[in-house]
Amino acid sequence: MLKKIKIEPFVLAIISTVLLAYLIPFFGNKEMVKPILLGVSGVGISLIFFFYGLKLNYTIIKEVLKNWKVHLIVQSATFILFPLIVLLFYPFIRTDTAHTLWLAVFFLAALPSSVSASVVMVAVAKGNVPAAIFNASLSGIIGILITPIWMSYFIQVETMDFDFSEIYFNLITEIIVPLILGILLQRFFGGWAIRHAAKISTFDKSIILLIVFKSFSESFLNGIFSSIGIVDMLLLAMAVILLFWFVYYTLKFICYRLDINREDSIAILFCGSKKSLIHASVMSKIMFAHLPFVGIMLLPVMLFHGFQIVFVSFIAAKKAKEIL
């Protein structure tokens, strides 16, 4: 008998949030409500990365620093391979709608890896968990700088008055400073963060849902999605899935050719093929606040997130059985 595919509750929560934003989009933009949403999401973002810093373990970092081959492959796939693949299709973009969708997919490609999903799946598959923690964390830190740089080449073309210095200021104050503060306080509160990891994860997801609601609420109010037909949506979903598969199996081929051991290969496959919904939500709020189609910028990431969770969960369970 075929086993039922279990959908992650968070994926269902995202779908429900988008539906809620469609049904009551005005709620996220009322004069009394909007400032509250902005304030709560801003503080929430800072707390996400503060807790993130608290969970960084110095011992783990020291153990995996010498495994440079794994780190190089993962970071190259995340910040070079992904964007270059999407860039190949840029010359073929002809319409405004196609350009907006391409930009959204390119934003997905430029994002860092997902920390929680990568580490959990590597652990399930009996892979190199310390390497996964290090690379997923390193990816998140690098992404704070690299992702805006990638996007700057295309956003500035659309908005002549767009100032990236403001973005970096917001990234520094809302992300980097809380992250560094968390790292500095890790020795005092790191144990607390580990003990309350489940509650912190729930808090992180709640902030993401809040950002998703606000982004899609504004997009529905502005009628942005009216320009995207069913065919475009299907093509977008297909493009996201093909992008994941191409990167995943390219990494699998690289691991085979370089004769990388099983544990490290799993870390490479799962970390190098993931993209972070947390970073996407945070960065979209900061980077695209001036754009009317911010909801569309998150759409490929959410499709990618849902697919990667289902596909990689299946692969992780399969690999775990291989050594039983």
* CATH architecture group of domain 9-322: Up-down Bundle (1.20)
Residue spans of the chain under pLDDT 70: 1-8, 10-11, 26-39, 41, 56-64, 115-117, 120, 156-168, 170-171, 215, 218-219, 222-227, 289-293, 310, 313, 320, 322-324
Which of 175, 180, 195, 210 has its CA nearest to residue 281? 210
Reading the block at residue 195, the tokens are: 């003990």
Q: Which residue has the tokens 């405004």?
A: 96
Residues 176 and 148: beta-carbon distance below 8 Å: no
pLDDT digits (tens, 9 = 90+) for 51-77: 877 876 666 666 667 788 999 999 999
The per-residue DSSP string of 44-98 comes to: HHHHHHHHHHHT--HHHHHHHTT-HHHHHHHHHIIIIIHHHHHHTTGGG--SHHH
**What is the rounded CA–CA span in Å between residue 37 and residue 86?**
33
pTM of the model: 0.71
pLDDT digits (tens, 9 = 90+) for 87-120: 999 998 888 888 888 999 999 999 998 766 677 6
User: Which residues, other chains included, contact 56 with Cβ-Cβ below 8 Å and sequence gap of 6+?
Assistant: 137, 182, 183, 186
